[in-house]
């Protein structure tokens, strides 16, 4: 298992990662796949330190749908964490999930939005929602922290209750990505 940062040292002024982790626990999510992402730092650390969740560090976001399919075939629930630029890396591999009716909750930290310091993030940030819809996902967006828990719970109900693929987009303004972060 990869060394995870201490969640208490993560630079976070909000508790949305704790809320997402709590929803994962409530819905018995046993595997969480991700590539390192500053926006998900605290949530990744919480999952890595949880003995009931298998934290899987991916070399590319495109490996995520394979992880989800394997978890589903093994009788477990999985979720993926990525930033919006990673969605573009998964367009081909997302098709396996719909074709095999494998449920997925995808939590996406948005880039290329409010106060983003990196112009390379803007193109995929602008097209993430439509790309996911074209890939067959139900897409929800969270702009305010107070909505994280109910929106993620609704996504879990839909995904795990009906074998659907559901994406929850976390706005950059809400995740409070600071200039200079990667």
4 by DSSP, 3-state: which?
coil
Q: Residues near 84 by Cβ (< 8 Å), separated by ≥ 6?
A: 108, 109, 110, 111, 112, 121, 124, 125, 128, 169
What's the rounded Cα separation, in Å, for the pair 109 and 143? 11
Q: Which domains does the chain have, with CATH numbers?
A: 7-175 (3.40.50.970)
173 pLDDT band, cuts 50/70/90, is confident
Q: Is the pTM of this model over 0.85?
A: yes
What's the rounded Cα separation, in Å, for the pair 114 and 171? 8
Residues across the chain = 182
Name the percent of the chain lying above pLDDT 70: 88
CB 93, CB 102: distance < 8 Å: no
What's the rounded Cα separation, in Å, for the pair 153 and 32? 16
Summarised one tens digit per residue, pLDDT across range 89-141 is 999 999 999 999 999 999 999 887 777 777 777 767 787 999 999 999 999 99
């Amino acid at each position: 298992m990869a060394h995870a940062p201490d969640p208490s040292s993560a630079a976070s002024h909000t508790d949305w990662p704790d809320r997402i982790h709590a929803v994962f626990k409530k819905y018995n999510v046993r595997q969480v796949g991700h590539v390192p992402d500053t926006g998900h730092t605290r949530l990744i650390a919480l999952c890595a330190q949880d003995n009931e969740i298998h934290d899987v560090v991916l070399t590319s976001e495109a490996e995520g749908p394979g992880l989800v399919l394997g978890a589903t075939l093994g009788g477990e629930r999985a979720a993926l964490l990525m930033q919006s630029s990673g969605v573009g890396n998964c367009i081909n591999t997302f098709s396996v999930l719909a074709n095999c009716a494998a449920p997925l909750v995808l939590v996406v930290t948005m880039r290329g939005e409010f106060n983003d310091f990196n112009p390379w993030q803007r193109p995929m940030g602008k097209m993430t929602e439509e790309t996911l819809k074209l890939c067959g996902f139900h897409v929800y967006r969270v702009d305010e922290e107070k909505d994280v828990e109910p929106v993620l719970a609704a996504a879990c109900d839909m995904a795990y209750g009906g074998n659907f693929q559901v994406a929850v987009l976390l706005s950059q303004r809400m995740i409070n990505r600071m200039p200079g972060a990667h």
